[in-house]
Amino acid sequence: MIAVDTNILVYAHRQDTEWHARAIAVLMPLAQGDQNWAIPWPCVHEFLAIVTHPRIFRPPTPSPLALQAIRVWLGSPSCRVLGEGPGYLETLAHVLTAAQARGGQVHDARIAALCEHHRVRELWTLDRDFSRFTGLRVVNPLA
């Protein structure tokens, strides 16, 4: 299964970003395909925080439109949402310890741990910081 990070979602949603066309081109086959793919809950929250932020985008996306974008993606029959469940704390502890993650790195560690916990084979992201989590294959699909 492939998981999609926040930045891919932001670029697919915001037409005023330089990576918009490419992000749509890689996200649409996932959403319309029959292979399972996933969005971690922290990425949903981060997406909403970024696209609705008036200092990041002018104009920002209104919350109802941002929520509708999430609903469309989560409405894909092949999309799964990755959340915490039984045994997750042990996975998080393993990921944090192995990567020596602390401070701001804990957010990314949480996403990596969710991916590991749900047996995601790769994370699509433009964020190179995920390379510190050795148990997760990181792919930049826009490259």
pLDDT of 24-49, one tens digit each?
999 999 999 999 999 999 999 999 99
In this prediction the pTM is 0.94
pLDDT of 3-26, one tens digit each?
999 999 999 999 999 999 999 999
For residue 67, the enclosing domain spans 2-139
SS (H, E, C) the chain: CEEECHHHHHHHHCCCCCCHHHHHHHHHHHHHCCCCEEEEHHHHHHHHHHHCCCCCCCCCCCHHHHHHHHHHHHCCCCEEEECCCCCHHHHHHHHHHHHCCCCCHHHHHHHHHHHHHCCCCEEECCCHHHHHCCCCEEECCCC
Q: What pLDDT, on the 0 to 100 scale, is given for residue 135? A: 82
Percent of the chain with pLDDT over 90: 97
Number of domains in the chain: 1
pLDDT of 51-78, one tens digit each?
999 999 999 999 999 999 999 999 999 9
Q: What is the CATH number of the domain that holds 61?
A: 3.40.50.1010
